[in-house]
Amino acid sequence: MPHVELKCFPGRSEEQKQKCAEAITKAITENMGCDASSVSIAIKEIAKEDWKEKVWDTQIACDDSLYKKPGYTCD
């Protein structure tokens, strides 16, 4: 039962978010061997000025389980 929570800056259209969710679902089903009906995806918009406090500090900088690390820092 994979669940993905994607956080991004505001500004994407509902169509863009839907296409992204569909692409993520496809990647999960193809690579993790599960059915699409088992996948759930949330997209949460975080304001740019809140990114460091709400995402970087609490979920990126301190997470040793990241399989894809960002190529930026929030220093």
Give me the active site residues, please: 2
pLDDT tens by residue, 29-41 = 999 999 999 999 9
Q: Is the pLDDT of residue 72 over 90?
A: yes
**Residue 75 above 90 pLDDT?**
no
On whether residue 70 sits in a domain, the answer given is: no
At 1, the amino acid letter reads: M
Please give the residue range of the domain that contains residue 32.
3-48
Q: What is the mean pLDDT of residues 69-75?
A: 93
32 CB contacts (<8 Å, ≥6 apart)?
A: 2
Asked whether the beta carbons of 9 and 56 are under 8 A apart, the reply is: no
What's the chain's average pLDDT?
97
Name 8's bridge partners.
45
Counting the structural domains of the chain, the total is: 1
CB atoms within 10 A of CB 9: 11
The token pair that represents 19 in the structure block: 């296409």
Model pTM?
A: 0.89
Which whole number is the average pLDDT over 5-28?
98
Q: Copy the structure tokens of residue 7.
A: 């956080």
Q: Is residue 23 part of a domain?
A: yes
